[in-house]
Amino acid sequence: MSAYPLRVLLAVDDRTLAKQLAGPLREAGHDEIVVVEARGEAALKAARLIHPDLVILSGPLRGSLDVVALSAALQGSSATPIPVLLVADPAELPDLLALHAHTRPADTSSTDPGPAKSLDSALEEAEL
């Protein structure tokens, strides 16, 4: 099981593809997977109900919400941005999940030198 299990929303246009995408997710320990048909409106409604940690889109979306409009609606409807992956080839998914696992915050209980300066604060100091 993954140390950080995700609630995943899959919006796909093919049942076989949905199974191919769900397999690596389950193997990685992400058991809470909701699959919806590839209609943008249905995916948005499901996202509002389940509050996913990750949305995976594959295939063209039917209806009035295309991929771009759905992504914008998802970002606008949540206080926290929802990562959206567009997957064309199910074989890519394990590598994408591995990348996601490496971007999780590390354990900061050891000696932490403190927060790094932001680019803005560094520029302000340079201008003084």
Domain residue limits, the chain: 1-94
**Which residues lie closer than 8 Å to 101 by C-beta, 6 or more apart?**
2, 4, 28
Look at residue 48 and tell me whether its pLDDT is greater than 80: yes
Task: Report the pLDDT value the prediction gives residue 37, as an integer from 0 to 100.
Answer: 74
* Average pLDDT of the segment spanning 25-38: 83
Choose among 63, 71, 31, 25: nearest CA to 47. Answer: 71
* pLDDT top residue among 35 and 125: 35
In angstroms, the first-to-last Cα distance of the chain is 51
Q: Which residue has the tokens 């099981």?
A: 1
* pLDDT top residue among 38 and 113: 38
Choose among 45, 59, 47, 65: nearest CA to 8. Answer: 47
Look at residue 71 and tell me whether its pLDDT is greater than 60: yes
* Range of lowest pLDDT (4-13, 56-65, 97-106): 97-106
Confidence band of 2 (pLDDT split at 50, 70, 90): low
* pLDDT top residue among 4 and 58: 58
Task: Report the pLDDT value the prediction gives residue 99, as an integer from 0 to 100.
Answer: 64
* Average pLDDT of the segment spanning 14-25: 83
Task: Report the pLDDT value the prediction gives residue 117, as an integer from 0 to 100.
Answer: 45
Question: Domain 1-94, what fold?
Answer: Rossmann fold (3.40.50)
85 bridge partner residues: 56
